[in-house]
């Protein structure tokens, strides 16, 4: 299963119930289809670099968050389509981080032994 990172900008609401619900629904979609959610990160509320229009509404600020997950490509495509239809989402993008474990985990750097003299 490939390893993906989903980056999302969602509409800002005063209460965080909406963002929590969006993240929960997104993670449950991945897990219900045999995927694994590795990490969810909130980057907070930020002013958008420019006004963005989504679902016939202009937005000037948004909540930034990301999710790392393993899933099949079909599940990832279905998740992207579902997110684009959600009125709480301003912008969403998915990045494939790797296919194999070797692509994701970098090898350790080799250490130099120190014998006390230079």
Domain at 94, CATH number: 3.30.70.60
Residue 118 counted as domain residue: no
Q: How many CB atoms lie within 10 A of CB 91?
A: 16
Residue 117 counted as domain residue: no
**Number of structural domains, the chain?**
1
Query: What's the chain's Rg over C-alpha atoms?
Result: 19
In this model, does residue 28 exceed pLDDT 90? yes
pTM above 0.85, yes or no: no
Residue 26: domain span: 3-104
34 band by pLDDT with thresholds 50, 70 and 90 = very high
Between CA 27 and CA 115 the distance in angstroms is: 51
Could you tell me what percent of the chain has a pLDDT over 90?
73
Q: Report the chain's terminal Cα–Cα distance, integer Å.
A: 48
Strands 89-98 and 36-54: unpaired
């Amino acid at each position: 299963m490939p390893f993906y990172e989903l980056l999302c900008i969602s509409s800002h609401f005063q209460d965080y119930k909406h963002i929590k619900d969006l993240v929960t629904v997104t993670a449950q979609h991945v897990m219900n289809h045999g995927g694994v959610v590795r990490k969810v990160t909130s980057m907070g509320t930020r002013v958008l670099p420019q006004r963005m229009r989504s679902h016939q509404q202009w937005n000037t600020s948004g909540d930034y968050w990301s999710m790392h997950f393993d899933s099949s490509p079909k599940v990832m495509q279905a998740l992207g389509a579902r997110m684009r239809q959600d009125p709480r989402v301003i912008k969403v993008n998915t990045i494939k981080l790797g296919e194999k474990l070797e692509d994701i985990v970098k090898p350790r750097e080799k250490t130099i032994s120190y014998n006390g003299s230079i």
